[in-house]
Amino acid sequence: MLTIALPKGRMADDALTWLARAGWSPPAAEDARKLVIPSEDGSLAYLMVKPMDVPVFVEQGAADMGIAGLDAVRERAADVYEPMLLPFGHCRLSVAAPADRPDRPLRLEISPRVATKYPRLAEAYFRGRGISAEFIYLNGSVELGPLVDMADLIVDIIQTGSTLRANNLVELREIMSSQGVFIVNRASYRLHAARIQSLLRALRAVLP
């Protein structure tokens, strides 16, 4: 039985829709609190995990495959195969600041406080520009950082920008653009090659 890790939340619905279109056996209806759900035909197990943890489950081999955001794959620096981009979960990881921030280049910041859920990518971005930022690692509500004067900047995911606007923030720089990506464990790719290839082919056939 192959195991696929899916990100709990909005992306899971998209993921399941596309997998169903590709003819994958859907998760059997069960207790919604269960974290491991067998597929209806018993050939697969669905693992429902936090979006940021999908790449970790796949890298470690706890799941053979997964559907994750590219942002999560890069943030966790997961050593996995990424055979297919998926047509959902589009967003970008960006630096944002209060709307009233004076208009000047980021590189003139001396030691900005940066609130983020993405410590690795945020640090790489600022370090790559020679800015010694101070990072404040948060697990959510990152936009709050500047509002309560805990942070000068944030690094966060932006989809439509409405959350930013609601909190009087503006996007300054895009760090990366992200979308859903199908990932496969490096060992599973070989050990279950035929099965995974045929699942991938079925999925590729229905993608736009």
Q: Which is nearer to another protein, 115 or 121 (CB)?
A: 121
What is the rounded distance in angstroms from the CA atom of residue 98 to the CA atom of residue 149? 10
Which of 28-36, 58-66, 109-117, 133-141 is the region at the interface with another protein (rule: CB under 8 A)? 58-66
Q: Does 85 bind another protein (CB under 8 A)?
A: yes
| Strand, coil or helix: 109 | coil
Residue from 184, 196, 199, 203 that binds another protein (CB under 8 A)?
A: 184
| Strand, coil or helix: 147 | helix
Q: Does 82 bind another protein (CB under 8 A)?
A: yes
CB 95 within 8 A of CB 172: yes
Q: Does 94 bind another protein (CB under 8 A)?
A: no
Maximum separation of any 2 CA atoms in the chain, in Å:
59
The pair of three-digit structure tokens given for residue 193, joined into one six-digit string: 């090659």
Q: Does 177 bind another protein (CB under 8 A)?
A: no
Q: Residues 147 to 166: which contact another protein by CB under 8 A?
A: none
Q: Does 188 bind another protein (CB under 8 A)?
A: yes
Q: Does 18 bind another protein (CB under 8 A)?
A: no
What is the rounded distance in angstroms from the CA atom of residue 100 to the CA atom of residue 186? 47
Positive/negative CA dihedral, 16, 19, 21, 27: negative
Which of 23-31, 42-50, 77-85, 122-130 is the region at the interface with another protein (rule: CB under 8 A)? 77-85
Residue from 17, 60, 111, 132 that binds another protein (CB under 8 A)?
A: 60
Q: Does 206 bind another protein (CB under 8 A)?
A: no
Q: Which is nearer to another protein, 167 or 185 (CB)?
A: 185
CA atoms within 13 A on the CB side of 110: 0
What is the rounded distance in angstroms from the CA atom of residue 49 to the CA atom of residue 6? 6
Residues at the site binding another protein, with contacts judged by CB under 8 A: 58-62, 79-85, 184-191, 193, 197
